Structure 1
Amino acid sequence: MKRYYTLNFFPVFLLTLLLSKNVQAQKGTSQLSALDSVTVLPMSAFKPIGYGTQVKQQITSAISTVYGADLEKNFSLNLGNTLYGRLAGLSVAQGGSEPGASTPSLFVRGLNTFGAAGNAPLYVIDGYISNGSGPANSFMQLVPEEIETITVLKDASATAIYGARGANGVVLVTTKVGKEGPLRISFTTKQGFNQAQYVPKFLNAYNYATLYNEALTNDGLPARYSTVDLDAYKTGSDPVFHPDVNWYDQVLRPTAPVSSYNLTFGGGDKFVRYFVTLNAINSQGLFKKFGDMNEESSNSKYAKYNFRTNLDVNLTDRLSAEFKIAGAFEQTNNPNNYTTGSTFGLLAQLPPNAFPVYNPNGSYGGNALYTNPVANLLSTGFYQNNARTVLSSLKLTEQLDMLVKGLSASVAVSINNYFKSGSYKSKQYPRFSVSSGPNGDVLYSPAVGQLTSLAGTEETLDQYRNLIFQGFLNYKRTVGKSDISGLLMVNTDNVTVFGPASDPTTPTANSTDPYKHNSGAGRFTYAYDNKYIAEFSAGYMGSNNFGPGNRYGFFPAASVGWVLSNEKFLTKNKAIDYLKVRGSYGLVGNDNIVSQGLSTRYAYTATFGGGGYFFGTGNTAVGGLAENVIANPNVTWEKEKSLNIGVDATLFKNLDLSVDVFNRDRYDIIVASASTTPLFSGIVTPSLNQGKSTNKGFDVSLRYNATQKKDFQFFVESNLSYFRNKVVFNAEAIQLNPQLYNTGAAIGQPFGLKAIGFYSEEDIAKRQADPKSVPGVLSELIRAGDIKYQDIGGPDGKPDGIIDANDRMAIGNPGLPTLSFGLHTGFRYKGFDADLVFQAVTGNTVYLGGNYFQAFQGNGQVAAIALNRWTPQTAATADYPRLSSKDNLNNYQFSSFWQRDGSFIKLRSAEIGYSLPAGLSDKIRLKTVRFFVNGTNLFSLDRVPYGDSESLTGYPVTRTITAGVKVQL
């Protein structure tokens, strides 16, 4: 596989060297400072210079930008995980930590629509739409070393040009390009380790057995473990019949090595400019090296190889070309399965005294109820998946100054591919439980499972292809005090998705019809005297997801700006160096609605399935056809009216401030028609564009740069984001309890029972006398020490003496924080430097569920959270319900009792470095040499003492520490 990657890249690299062979060493031409030019438009990466960028002073949109160089200062396997706390208005929700299988979710200004997948932003890489989701998202596969900037477009004036795809915001990536000058070579390597930030702490065998006896007693059942058993567990004197196994210690290692390598070439002349980068990342998983213990197993490891070649060629005085090709190749190895979810689920469930890892005769311990985690990783084979992403584009631009000064025309084509294959070698093993014989000898049960030989299977896991054509006219000219620029663009893209060959029944496998979008877009900007700016932009887009007459829509937006600091009444103000007010309003759309409630992709067409009727006294079945969900020919995309008002300022020369206030009104959201058509009508009604929501909030960015001195420099920048959304209309079915309506609540608001303490002995006595006097979920299960819930489930929210689904209400907050704060600071002193990124969030709730927190449920184990359980002696201080050996249907209801504040403060990354003095570097013939140590996810302060509040279950959140060196020639 590695040879295949090298052969594919070699022709591209050779072409680069041939084109740049005659590059002459010369000083680079002056460039517009990165602080004065910000990417804001979809053609931003199409570099005829001046197209797709705007001078900072003329920007009237709400945007946030981070530079790739800043993102390099941590170690991450996924680009999305470098963005925590970096950008105002961007929320990053952690998707787990497993290498190659976990991808964060990004949200621009929070949640704006209700539905499973409709809140994701649009990803654009060098002007081309990036398709795919999860680990297949090509944006997530990029590495910081190839990125110039990542810009988030947040308001209608910036996103209307994307038509029906821009309502959830746009994440825009511009990759690095070559600059005129001699060949520049840079090499960076990082070597280090990662470790679990927190591993669940379950009780040992003695405490497990003690509490299990208590749970049995609470349920009116006899104790299982005798005093002799408890002593054996406590002393560890009988590891065969009284084992005490910490399964996490048996499966995980304390640290796992990680490494990365990056090699970059750049340079060029006035004819050819090039940028080439090669990157390799390796991370060994937290599992022990089971592949070293058994040749029919595998070590857990993940590797990713990235390459990029960006070429800019001046073919003639007026004709230029841009060629870009990039890719990412991934390989993941794991024992037992493609991912680790089933293993960590078993670790959380398996009691410490269930059985030993190995029996005295060397066989695997186990029983019919539980498999053996160690045996699973050693003796069930190994899984490997390979994924490759290739992004390629070619663009030609002709300057048309001979026709109209400032006019140019461009055409572009992009082909993007993603393919993921899987290979697994599987087998089975026997496991045995043991018991003590009459003479204390070991008796073995019949084998559970049988030994099989290794068998292999190859399969396609995922695949898609994206073909994009673009053409556009650009105009930019300055006439006197007027700056005029304009853009006209046409775009068409086709995405073909191929599903897993091993499972042709999946929805992905059936989605082989191309997803097609055709669009036209325009933008006109006028600025006068560097004071007054006006801009109009619009997109006209069509999608084949919708029926005739509803496929195309028009999305206009307008914005204005006023640079007050250029007015005479402020030019002499020493405190205000720059001050601009701006505002925008427009209409944007979201066509990502199929997963939000439509029964099929083509909801506007009728579909038919199995139907029939029963005839005669014998109820004889006769087959037939019946319409499935009724077709909805009027289905269309969501629409949003977006208002943004902002202020940008520079104060006292060193303090930059940007403030935005926004209001977003989303409508035509796909919702079920439950409030208009009753179920007893006998027909399956379609989802309709009836839903409405609103979202309000603000973004603030602040940066202070200290006055540069010879030896000491520092900066502090921060961002603050807040949003508050609400479901305005959801077409819900009529509810007995008014508090059950989603309408009026926050998007994603959890609904459950409200816990109001524990049942007391007096409560149980009253309930036995009059069941409705003390309501309960199921009367036969209610005991003193069980969780007590508020009764509001009768008509108009009045008590009815029964706790059921009608007693649910809004509890806690949604999982996405409503308030986010980021702090980025650093300094440089002589050769030393430091860089730190903190993130803080609040306004969200996390839920404690499953075996990690619910003692003995599903034949599981018990964690330390249960130590302060309710007993008659601890009734006044207990914060955990009484223990029960049964699956308790009362205590483990979804309720406020198990909710916790999800707020936290985290040190997301930190780096300290030292650069050799220039004189010393010159002696070893290097331009610069820098040594550094960095850390990622170094610590967390939160309100959940049982794990990381972002990821409470599954693969542990990891902390990574690396040391490295960067050299430049």
Structure 2
Amino acid sequence: MKSIYKTSVQLIVLFILLLAQASFAQTAESDTINLGTAPVTSLFSGQRNIAFGTQPAQHVSTAISTVYGRDLEKNFNLNLGNTLYGRLSGLVVTQGGSEPGVATPGMLIRGINTFGGASNAPLYIIDGFISNGTGPANAFMQLTPEEIESISVLKDAAATALYGARAANGVVLVTTKAGKEGQLKVSFTTRQGFNQAQALPQFLNAYDYSVLYNEALNNDGLPIRYTDADLEAYKDGSDPVFHPDVDWYDQVLRPASYASSYNLNFGGGDKFVRYFVSLNALSSQGLFKKFGDLSDESIDSKYAKYNFRSNLDISLSRRLSAEFRIAGSIEASSNPNNYTTGSTFSLLQSLPPNAFPVYNPNGSYGGNALYANPVGNLISTGFYNNNSRTILSSLKFTEQLDMITKGLSVSAAVSINNYFEQGSRKSKQYPRYSLARGVTGDTIYSPPVGQLTSLSGAEETLDQYRNFIVQAFLNYQRTFGKHDISAMVMMNNDNVTLFGPASDPSNPTANSTDPYKHNSAAGRLTYVLNEKYIAEFSLGYMGSEIFAPEKRYGFFPAGSVGWILSNEGFLKQSQAINFLKLRASYGLVGNDIIASQGLSTRYAYTPTFGGGGYFFGTGNTGVGGFAENAIANNNVTWEKEKSLNVGLDIAFFKHFEASFDYFNRDRYDILVGSNSTIPLYLGVITPTLNQGKTNNNGFDFALRYNSDTKKTLQFFAAANVFYATSKIVFNAEAIQLNPLLLSTGNKIGQPLGLKAIGFYSADDIAQRSIDPKSVPGVLTEVIRAGDIKYQDIGGPEGKPDGIIDGNDRMPIGNPSQPALSGGLHTGLRYKGFDLDLVFQGVTGNTVYLGGNTFHAFQSNGQVAPIAFGRWTPQTAESATYPRLSSRDNLNNYQFSSFWQRDGSFIKLRSAEIGYSLPAQLTDKVRISSARIFINGTNLFSWDNLEDGDPESLTGYPVMRTLTLGLNIQL
């Protein structure tokens, strides 16, 4: 941490020097000030960020979607990924939980393209340098919108080929803000508000729980547990000690928690030095009640993040320039009981309301051997502090070589990025007691479960990595009359070193301190003729150390063409079509994050050996030995993908712009088990082989309308839609009695389960259509009327065999990832008022109702209102839930279509309404502008699920945030 403090001090000194220097800077035209609705941004004008450079938007012949940081600022979120819902066509963002400092959203570019454990995650590039990490360690997620100029999603092979074997899943390209010539400009923004759970699981109170539990016991042929007197005591609350009725969520969570953020930006400079500096502080209190206020041995749940950035562009001479970037974030979180909240929410979702009171009459904690006390856990088991820091730094020099030939330049760059996470653990135990009523009515305490211990501590490293990157470029840009030529050749070397418990990115089951190395060379040539015809060729050549030497390097070529029809004579004078471009691309890219079942080592091409053993003699005495693990595979290589993209860009009627892309992606050389090619009777552990194939095709579409900017009322709407269908073309699977169990031909991620076809009736049992004692096979549950009936297809040729087991599984529902997603970003401005709204919608996905939240009384757990629809002889025709059972029912709670639900939804992801103070008022206080606003995130959800939020059925809930904000610009 000392290095952080030293860096912070140096940064403050640098700020002072820059501010002093800025006071003498030449005045230039100011940047566009974002007051309310974002400035109108054309899809087809200006410069666009591409791999390792920029390109005029009209010359782009690849598939790229872009969003600007000024749009993302209208969103209060703890990580950057959660600001991107519905923003970019082709980018699917899925909720990954909401726990501060822990949860990050999932991000997929054009859907799922691989299976078997290989990564579908995109490659993240920040200011030209690879910055991949996992979970909270992903530096991209830690950025703030206020420091970002733009985020571009590179979607096709021609856009990503320069990244070689790391490009097949697409690339998220981030460009941070740079200083511009002009006088010092200062912007300050603050938001103050609160968080609350968007939805929490609902459970029955103690009375309803007891009534239904008696029914479940009766259904199982067991004596009831709760007498009429017990039920009455639960109903009227007259005996809270022996008949408690505890809402555990209410005992642990508060209705709202405080959240705030502060951001301060500086920018300006002259023709010699240009600077951009950003400071950001964000804090969010957790949903837990303030248990730290009740005990010195506990702590309040909270999270804080501090970001800083200093971007300098320096003209060292007429031809030599330098770019220096240093940025980072410091995160700190605190929680009682554990580093994260997962175990607490798991307990809340399991603990019945009448299990025990929070506190016993003598002040001790209620509890028993089966369940701990959530309140006791949060007050009396200690506290955990988690601190992490991320540093991103880079230095780049560029020399113009016009003395050799005009338009030629050479650059060299180096980047050092690192992440470190440390934990401080203070833990203890506490006793809890269950109660019984004595013969004389007195209270009898059981022996304690757990013992009181003193607080003990430990300091530990939770994660750590370092990334060192060196790059060199040769660039050429020249226009000869009608000919526009640009070219780039680059070399890249990056080394990632993991320390301690950090996971191996290519095999999560292995830990290693060996550096992960990538060497690559790449080139791009773009030719534009007469501003009409575009041709571009890209080539990546990359190697990785995880493959055998002879398989270590590979070529990844791609090409694209474009035709700007609107510059042709037959369209040039069109009043309806303002811009029209056709484009197409095709290429080969790779994915080298290929973790899969069966990989015994990071270096799968080398043989490894482990413990074996033999048994000798009549006593079967074990003797240690040594045996080969999975057979080494010298041919292991990266996944490859051939990607086709055909697109159209059009601007029409002056106010409309649209972009459409069709894509087809064929991926092969996916690592899969060798079950169909190597028989198990060989007696060896067979290796995984590059045999799998998939196909993913679909389209993405974006449409934008901008009203006349000269009118008093200004309006815009930007919509995007993405659709993809992906399937497994080949998976080397063993032969199945039921061919529906084969994943080949199915969607990637297709769930396989039993198909529910109703409930068994009393007539089914009476007619002995099933064995009344049991159903043979895997499901050995005693079947009764009201149990779920499954389709029997497990016999030869899919015919019934009278057995319900794993062979009766079939494709049910849809994958968890949506097939279709879309977004709508709209806003208006009228005089000083402005409104900004972002909606996101998804469909074609399935969610599953599982665990204690929905499976009544399983593992002695809870029961939710969904169980009111249970089967009884009286409700047999209308029941929506199986008969209740007090046991862990092996039949009713199988993975089946009965528990699947439509996961479609439309959500209002963010909304902001603001008012900009009149200039005559701000001029009096000598500020450039001032704006007050109210912002909300995750405000509403329209979905088909009555039993919770489709994105978060269990665990830490999705958060709704409301803030009041102020922006001042000097």
Instruction: Report the TM-score, using the length of structure 1 for normalisation.
Output: 0.97
Matches of residues 12-27 of structure 1 in structure 2 within 5 Å? 12-19=11-18, 21-23=20-22, 24-27=24-27
Matches of residues 638-653 of structure 1 in structure 2 within 5 Å? 638-653=639-654
Residue 898 of structure 1 and its aligned partner are, at CA, apart by 0.2
Query: Residues 349-372 of structure 1, C-alpha deviation per residue, up to 9 Å, x if partnerless?
Result: 111001100011111111111110
> What secondary structure, in the 3-state scheme, does the structure 1 residue paired with 2:550 have?
coil
Matches of residues 604-643 of structure 1 in structure 2 within 5 Å? 604-643=605-644
Q: 1:415 to 1:595 in 2, by over 3 A?
A: farther
Deviates more, 1:958-967 or 1:443-452: 443-452
Residue 771 of structure 1 and its aligned partner are, at CA, apart by 7.0
Which amino acid is the alignment partner of residue 110 of structure 2?
R
| Residue 827 of structure 2: aligned partner | 826
| Residue 744 of structure 1: aligned partner | 745
Query: Residues 491-523 of structure 1, C-alpha deviation per residue, up to 9 Å, x if partnerless?
Result: 0000001123999xx967731000000000000
Question: Following the alignment from structure 1 to structure 2, what is the Cα–Cα distance between the partners of residues 159 and 432?
Answer: 62
Which amino acid is the alignment partner of residue 348 of structure 1?
Q
Is the contact made by 2:598 and 2:630 (CA closer than 8 Å) also made in structure 1?
no
Residue 34 of structure 1 and its aligned partner are, at CA, apart by 6.5
| Residue 46 of structure 2: aligned partner | 37
Deviates more, 1:112-121 or 1:296-305: 112-121
Residue 768 of structure 1 and its aligned partner are, at CA, apart by 7.0
Matches of residues 657-676 of structure 1 in structure 2 within 5 Å? 657-676=658-677
| Residue 498 of structure 1: aligned partner | 499
| Residue 35 of structure 2: aligned partner | none
Is the contact made by 1:766 and 1:773 (CA closer than 8 Å) also made in structure 2?
no
Is the contact made by 1:501 and 1:509 (CA closer than 8 Å) also made in structure 2?
no
Query: Residues 173-205 of structure 1, C-alpha deviation per residue, up to 9 Å, x if partnerless?
Result: 000000000011111000000101111110000
Quick check: 1:28 aligned with 2:56?
no
Residue 826 of structure 1 and its aligned partner are, at CA, apart by 0.2
Q: 1:323 to 1:769 in 2, by over 3 A?
A: closer
Matches of residues 89-168 of structure 1 in structure 2 within 5 Å? 89-168=90-169
Residue 131 of structure 1 and its aligned partner are, at CA, apart by 2.2
| Residue 178 of structure 1: aligned partner | 179
Quick check: 1:70 aligned with 2:71?
yes
Query: Residues 470-491 of structure 1, C-alpha deviation per residue, up to 9 Å, x if partnerless?
Result: 0010000000011000000000
> What secondary structure, in the 3-state scheme, does the structure 1 residue paired with 2:767 have?
helix
Deviates more, 1:409-418 or 1:673-682: 673-682
Question: Following the alignment from structure 1 to structure 2, what is the Cα–Cα distance between the partners of residues 943 and 526?
Answer: 51
Is the contact made by 1:435 and 1:444 (CA closer than 8 Å) also made in structure 2?
yes
| Residue 248 of structure 1: aligned partner | 249
| Residue 914 of structure 1: aligned partner | 915
Q: 1:287 to 1:651 in 2, by over 3 A?
A: same
| Residue 56 of structure 2: aligned partner | 55
Residue 30 of structure 1 and its aligned partner are, at CA, apart by 9.9
Q: 1:123 to 1:755 in 2, by over 3 A?
A: same
| Residue 327 of structure 1: aligned partner | 328
> What secondary structure, in the 3-state scheme, does the structure 2 residue paired with 1:377 have?
helix
Quick check: 1:381 aligned with 2:390?
no
Instruction: Report the TM-score, using the length of structure 2 for normalisation.
Output: 0.97
Which amino acid is the alignment partner of residue 50 of structure 2?
L
Which amino acid is the alignment partner of residue 761 of structure 2?
S
Which amino acid is the alignment partner of residue 659 of structure 2?
S
Is the contact made by 1:851 and 1:857 (CA closer than 8 Å) also made in structure 2?
yes
Residue 18 of structure 1 and its aligned partner are, at CA, apart by 2.5
Question: Following the alignment from structure 1 to structure 2, what is the Cα–Cα distance between the partners of residues 404 and 12?
Answer: 39
Question: Following the alignment from structure 1 to structure 2, what is the Cα–Cα distance between the partners of residues 497 and 776?
Answer: 47
> What secondary structure, in the 3-state scheme, does the structure 2 residue paired with 1:349 have?
coil
Is the contact made by 2:778 and 2:806 (CA closer than 8 Å) also made in structure 1?
no
Which amino acid is the alignment partner of residue 26 of structure 2?
Q
Which amino acid is the alignment partner of residue 417 of structure 1?
N
CA RMSD of aligned residues (A): 1.8
Question: Following the alignment from structure 1 to structure 2, what is the Cα–Cα distance between the partners of residues 318 and 17?
Answer: 28
> What secondary structure, in the 3-state scheme, does the structure 1 residue paired with 2:164 have?
helix
Residue 769 of structure 1 and its aligned partner are, at CA, apart by 7.5
Matches of residues 947-958 of structure 1 in structure 2 within 5 Å? 947-958=948-959
Residue 613 of structure 1 and its aligned partner are, at CA, apart by 2.7
Residue 778 of structure 1 and its aligned partner are, at CA, apart by 3.8
Q: Show structure 2 runs of 5+ residues with no match.
A: 33-39
Q: 1:13 to 1:301 in 2, by over 3 A?
A: same
> What secondary structure, in the 3-state scheme, does the structure 2 residue paired with 1:249 have?
helix
Q: 1:367 to 1:30 in 2, by over 3 A?
A: closer
| Residue 49 of structure 1: aligned partner | none
Question: Following the alignment from structure 2 to structure 1, what is the Cα–Cα distance between the partners of residues 951 and 502?
Answer: 34
Is the contact made by 1:767 and 1:773 (CA closer than 8 Å) also made in structure 2?
no
Question: Following the alignment from structure 1 to structure 2, what is the Cα–Cα distance between the partners of residues 100 and 372?
Answer: 25
| Residue 469 of structure 2: aligned partner | 468
Question: Following the alignment from structure 2 to structure 1, what is the Cα–Cα distance between the partners of residues 141 and 20?
Answer: 33
Q: Show structure 1 runs of 5+ residues with no match.
A: 44-51
| Residue 8 of structure 1: aligned partner | 7
Percent identity for Structure 1 against Structure 2: 72
Deviates more, 1:482-491 or 1:113-122: 113-122
Is the contact made by 2:253 and 2:287 (CA closer than 8 Å) also made in structure 1?
yes
Question: Following the alignment from structure 1 to structure 2, what is the Cα–Cα distance between the partners of residues 782 and 696?
Answer: 44
Question: Following the alignment from structure 1 to structure 2, what is the Cα–Cα distance between the partners of residues 31 and 560?
Answer: 34
Matches of residues 31-430 of structure 1 in structure 2 within 5 Å? 35=42, 36-43=45-52, 52-430=53-431
Question: Following the alignment from structure 2 to structure 1, what is the Cα–Cα distance between the partners of residues 770 and 114?
Answer: 49
- How many pairs are equivalent? 958
Residue 596 of structure 1 and its aligned partner are, at CA, apart by 6.0
Query: Residues 774-794 of structure 1, C-alpha deviation per residue, up to 9 Å, x if partnerless?
Result: 988646510100000000001
Which amino acid is the alignment partner of residue 956 of structure 2?
Y
Matches of residues 804-823 of structure 1 in structure 2 within 5 Å? 804-823=805-824
Q: 1:366 to 1:622 in 2, by over 3 A?
A: closer
| Residue 892 of structure 1: aligned partner | 893
Query: Residues 254-294 of structure 1, C-alpha deviation per residue, up to 9 Å, x if partnerless?
Result: 00000000011100000000000000000000000000111
| Residue 861 of structure 2: aligned partner | 860
Question: Following the alignment from structure 1 to structure 2, what is the Cα–Cα distance between the partners of residues 372 and 620?
Answer: 46
Is the contact made by 2:775 and 2:781 (CA closer than 8 Å) also made in structure 1?
no
Residue 626 of structure 1 and its aligned partner are, at CA, apart by 1.3
Query: Residues 289-310 of structure 1, C-alpha deviation per residue, up to 9 Å, x if partnerless?
Result: 0001111100000000000000
> What secondary structure, in the 3-state scheme, does the structure 2 residue paired with 1:157 have?
helix
> What secondary structure, in the 3-state scheme, does the structure 2 residue paired with 1:909 have?
strand
Question: Following the alignment from structure 2 to structure 1, what is the Cα–Cα distance between the partners of residues 295 and 800?
Answer: 62
Is the contact made by 1:312 and 1:320 (CA closer than 8 Å) also made in structure 2?
yes
Is the contact made by 1:776 and 1:788 (CA closer than 8 Å) also made in structure 2?
no
Matches of residues 542-553 of structure 1 in structure 2 within 5 Å? 542-553=543-554
Is the contact made by 1:198 and 1:957 (CA closer than 8 Å) also made in structure 2?
yes
> What secondary structure, in the 3-state scheme, does the structure 1 residue paired with 2:423 have?
strand
Residue 548 of structure 1 and its aligned partner are, at CA, apart by 1.1
Question: Following the alignment from structure 1 to structure 2, what is the Cα–Cα distance between the partners of residues 336 and 20?
Answer: 46
Question: Following the alignment from structure 1 to structure 2, what is the Cα–Cα distance between the partners of residues 435 and 728?
Answer: 62
Quick check: 1:754 aligned with 2:755?
yes
Residue 60 of structure 1 and its aligned partner are, at CA, apart by 0.1
Is the contact made by 1:767 and 1:774 (CA closer than 8 Å) also made in structure 2?
no
| Residue 880 of structure 1: aligned partner | 881
Q: 1:493 to 1:308 in 2, by over 3 A?
A: same
Question: Following the alignment from structure 1 to structure 2, what is the Cα–Cα distance between the partners of residues 596 and 588?
Answer: 23
Is the contact made by 1:159 and 1:170 (CA closer than 8 Å) also made in structure 2?
yes
Is the contact made by 2:119 and 2:593 (CA closer than 8 Å) also made in structure 1?
yes
Which amino acid is the alignment partner of residue 85 of structure 1?
G
Deviates more, 1:673-682 or 1:401-410: 673-682
| Residue 799 of structure 1: aligned partner | 800
Which amino acid is the alignment partner of residue 424 of structure 2?
S
Is the contact made by 1:565 and 1:580 (CA closer than 8 Å) also made in structure 2?
yes
Is the contact made by 2:772 and 2:784 (CA closer than 8 Å) also made in structure 1?
no
Is the contact made by 1:776 and 1:789 (CA closer than 8 Å) also made in structure 2?
no
Is the contact made by 1:111 and 1:747 (CA closer than 8 Å) also made in structure 2?
yes
Question: Following the alignment from structure 1 to structure 2, what is the Cα–Cα distance between the partners of residues 393 and 773?
Answer: 68
> What secondary structure, in the 3-state scheme, does the structure 2 residue paired with 1:22 have?
helix
Question: Following the alignment from structure 1 to structure 2, what is the Cα–Cα distance between the partners of residues 29 and 934?
Answer: 30
Is the contact made by 2:781 and 2:889 (CA closer than 8 Å) also made in structure 1?
no
Question: Following the alignment from structure 1 to structure 2, what is the Cα–Cα distance between the partners of residues 129 and 757?
Answer: 53
Q: 1:932 to 1:595 in 2, by over 3 A?
A: farther
Deviates more, 1:775-784 or 1:638-647: 775-784
Residue 453 of structure 1 and its aligned partner are, at CA, apart by 0.6
Residue 332 of structure 1 and its aligned partner are, at CA, apart by 0.7
> What secondary structure, in the 3-state scheme, does the structure 2 residue paired with 1:781 have?
coil
